[in-house]
Structure 1
Amino acid sequence: MSEPLVFKNRPNQPIVVEGKTYWISRSVTVVPVLLFAIERQLYVPLGKRGIDMPNEQGKWGLPGGYLDFDETTSEAVIREVYEETGLNLPYLMAHHRVVGDLEHPYLIESRPLYLQNVSLRFPLMIFVDDLPPLAAKVGVGEVEELRWVPVEEAIAQDLAFEHHLLIQHCLETYFCWNQAGDRTL
């Protein structure tokens, strides 16, 4: 069984000036396209955004978030996944076959559509016999609910921040996957 993870990051803190909140150093976000394969079926862990989130409340989405002070992008991915799903990526990657990596994003976008200027997408497919349990380490105000969703169902939903399009794009461009389920892994 895996041990709880400990992180060295210093969380970003906002300042409030005349009633308006400003975030210091919140310009980079990490978004792992985290897929779990059982035989030929792919699943994705999705979290329902809680009422304390600044936007997209009540919508389902991938784990991910802002890069904090004193952490690398791969450390941010590990931390965000652990906080929002309870999944211990270092443990899972050490004990299962993995395609993709946490050191090199497959896509970097720089367009201020939401709250960040740069978004790093990390592909990761983990081959398992059974789906591990999901249990967020943050409060329900951030992640209200968690569930495993077959990837075809996730792509068909209107996910937060257009994550359904991110999943589909990653599957098609990085994993060479198509809607018929043909894969070149």
Structure 2
Amino acid sequence: MLEAVQAAALARLSAWGEAFSDDSPEDSPAAPPGDVTDQPQDFAAPRQTTSEDVRTGLVELLGMAEDLERGIDELSEQLPIVAAATHRGSSADGCVAVTVTGGGEVREIHYDRAWLGRAHEASIGRHTQLAFAAAYEAAARSGVEQFIANSRLGELQRAMQDPLGYARRSGRSS
């Protein structure tokens, strides 16, 4: 799972870099005389990306890369603890209890023996499903996926979902 998160973050970081480098004036051909760039700029018209914009974007990318590295280090250190933590869920009347890890591995299924002896097989199946659902809900609230979402890497991942939108919101793109 950690490898998938890293790959997704690196892909978004690459898209971020392309968003800034695609508009850089050094990459675009010079405008011919009399072109629209010689005209007074209209406030509604997008502005030309400057080399300062590109530098600012690259500094932002460097900061994001550093955050990515810190986020990966944080996850690498804490993920085994979160994944090993156990979460318990039970059926409504407590006849069945299931314990799973933060990573979703089943550790224990416990049945009330007195209830089990008199319960119908359909009831056993239904109560078992309810206990599993409750255990997985508990794990989801504080398990691996939630830990990643709440981590520095999760914040960075959300910010890089839309690199162009992020650039526009932060004033780096027109």
TM-score, with structure 1 as normaliser: 0.19
Decide which structure has greater strand share.
1
Higher Cα radius of gyration = 2
Of Structure 1 and Structure 2, the greater helix share is in 2
